[in-house]
Chains A and B, each alone.
Chain A
Amino acid sequence: MKIAIIDDSIFMRRLITGAIQQIQPDAVLTEFTNGEEALAQLPKLAPDLITLDMLMPKMDGLALLEALKTSALRPRVIVITANVQNSVRQKCADFGVTDFIEKPITFDKLQASFTKLLAA
């Protein structure tokens, strides 16, 4: 499984990669620091799954979801954010994201999300 981790915080990327390495040891992880950087590389990477922060410089999570909608890519998306406004949850749901996790990320939260994702 190829997984793109998109978050501007090195701390959050560290937490997310650490958890995924335990949950899916065979996963190939690639990190991006914002949506713009990710969007440039995602067609080549063709990830099966994206973990996506919402609030990032250059291109935020919602803008990336909008851009993905018009691309040929159809990765599953787990949103991981502190921006837990109902309006943001609704927009993510409208974009068809697989799961919406409220920060802080923990191993248990991410494992539950992966369990749900793999069962689908």
Chain B
Amino acid sequence: MTTSDATSPEVLDALLELVTIGVGRGAAGLSELTGREVGISVPTLEIFDFEQSHPSDQFQGASLRVRQSFDGGITGHALFVLNVEGAHRVAELLLGGTGNHDAFDDNEQAALLELGNIIIGGVVSQLVNQIGESVNWELPQLQLRGSAGLVDMVSDLADPRGMRVILMRATLSLESENVSGYLMLVLSDEHLSELMEKLEHMLALV
């Protein structure tokens, strides 16, 4: 039985709602920085088994990811992912002007890293605040990933041998720019179970 099988719809709903609120904060940050309206999708939760089924794969071509790992009240990894073209356009919006589309210079990398940090911080902080916990952060890292899709995007974050990974995904879209980014939380089954227990406790107090 998977974690989500064993968890009440009420707890799953609470988890996705908290992620939605956090994504909303991240979207507000992205909007402030780019001066563009940002649309967000309803987050989805998927169970990803490396050896069996793969979730719907929305990654086409090389992508840039900001990765930030955290532990404490919640333990896992958060990713903000943009395809390379989208990342160049976002960097242009953040810094003004048009950049070199062959590579990301130091300023562009710094801007994208900070953007990921703001979006990820908004989502994870929302979660930990709500359950009355805290987390310790690793420094964010900017990484270019290959084109093998979602498996490649997260394969270095967990032991692929029979391990399930829980993905919570939401899309942030710069609507006037045709640019979409994905926010993903990657938690092991064990750590998701711990989070669910804390959410159950939170709901019991409401």
Contacts and interface: CB of A to CB of B under 8 A. Distances in A.
B114 A9 contact: yes
B1 interface: no
Given A55-B137, A55-B139, A85-B125, A11 B94 contact: yes
Residues of B in contact with A, size category: 20 to 34
Contact of B106 (A10, A84, A103): A10
A11 B112 CA distance: 9
B36 to A, nearest CB: 13
Contacts, number: 61
B129 A11 contact: no
A103 B29 contact: yes
A87 interface: yes
B33 interface: yes
A106 B121 CA distance: 17
B134 interface: yes
A117 interface: no
Instruction: Say whether chain A's binding surface is mostly helix, strand, loop, or mixed.
Output: loop
A87 B129 CA distance: 8
A104 B93 CA distance: 14
Contacts of A81: 121
Interface of B: 29, 32-33, 94-95, 106-107, 110-111, 113-114, 117-118, 120-122, 125, 128-129, 132, 134-135, 137, 139-140
12 contacts: A9-B113, A10-B106, A11-B95, A11-B113, A55-B117, A55-B139, A83-B121, A84-B121, A87-B128, A103-B29, A104-B32, A104-B33
Given A87-B128, A104-B29, 12 more contacts: A9-B114, A9-B117, A10-B107, A11-B111, A12-B110, A82-B120, A83-B125, A83-B137, A85-B135, A103-B121, A104-B33, A106-B32
